[in-house]
Every structure is written in structure tokens, then in C-alpha cells.
Amino acid sequence: MSKRALKKYLSELRKKELEAQIMELYEKFPAVKGYYDFAFNPKEDKMVQEAKTKISNEYFPVKRKRPKARRSVAQKYIKHFTKLGVDSAMIADVMCFNLEIAQTFSIERNVPDAFYKSMLNSFSEMTTFISQHGILDDFKERIVKIYNHTQTNNWLYKEAFSKALDILD
């Protein structure tokens, strides 16, 4: 169904019918429920804290022995927050936290080459996001600290991290 056809269909419905359909969508689909829960009661701080806890648990698990160290967990939260329209500074905070916790993890563990490539992707996405949203002043110190860690600890793709940092200039 096209957007135009949907608009026509919705305009033909009476208010009670429209309310009934929205309630049905709310009850059937978790994504719709999540959207409305956020729209009417945006607890961004709580959501960001939950995301940070889950990301931290990927690298330093509380209940299991072995860490999974999946970048995808952080990416899912970032994508979800972007869709919901969470404040860009809070999204950037999660992006920085993801890299910081991964760097702490890499000090204590022997990580594969793919880990460094993955973190390079996260770093590039973070610098691009921060640049696009004009919030560099709030995150400059954290970005420099993350970048310096990659250089002083001889991370793979050091030159690529430098190029990703150039986006901010």
C-alpha cells in the first residue's frame, strides 16, 4: 500500500475506527508500543543507561564466564535510538562509551584482527555522527582520548583511525 492510498484510507475512517486500529497496532506490535511509550514518556536517560549496561555486559559479563564482545549490540541500540529521535548528544555518548569499553577490554585480552576493524568502523561512524550534528565541543576530549589510545597501544589500522579523525577538521 502506498503512502497516498493509506492516507486516503485513514481519512475515510471515523474517529472510533481509527482509535480501534491504533490500539490494535499498539497491542500487536512491540515496535509500535515502543514508539508510543517513548513518544509520551521519553525516559532517555534510563534508556541510555540500560544500553550502556548491556554493552558493558558484552565485554565484561556478569552472569557468564566468557565475553562475547559483539559490536552489533551497541549498533542495534544506536540505530534504535536514532529511529526514536533520542537526543543526538545521548546517542554520541553511547557511541563513545562503546569504544571506551572496547578499548578497556582490548588491554586485558588478546583480540583478533577483526575486532580492530570493527572498532575502526565504530570510530568512523562516531566521528561522522558527531560532525553532522555539530556537537564536537561536547565530545572532543573523549574522541581525542579514544584516538590516542589507538595510537599508543599500537592498534591495527592506525592510519585509518587518523583518517577517520580528519572528518572532524
Q: Are residues 17 and 49 in the same domain?
A: no
Task: Note whether 78 and 91 are within 8 A (CB).
Answer: yes
**At residue 9, what is the residue type?**
Y
Q: Are residues 75 and 5 in the same domain?
A: no
**Whether residues 7 and 73 fall in one domain:** no
Same domain, 20 and 80: no
pLDDT tens figures, 92-141: 999 999 999 999 999 989 999 999 999 999 999 999 999 999 999 999 99
| Cα three-residue angle 71-75-76, rounded to 5 degrees | 120
Same domain for 61 and 142? Answer: yes
Q: Are residues 59 and 26 in the same domain?
A: no
Domain enclosing residue 136, as ranges? 44-166
The total number of structural domains in the chain stands at 2
Tell me the pLDDT tens digit for each residue of 41-54: 889 999 999 999 99
Q: What is the pTM of this model?
A: 0.87
Does 31 share its domain with 50?
no
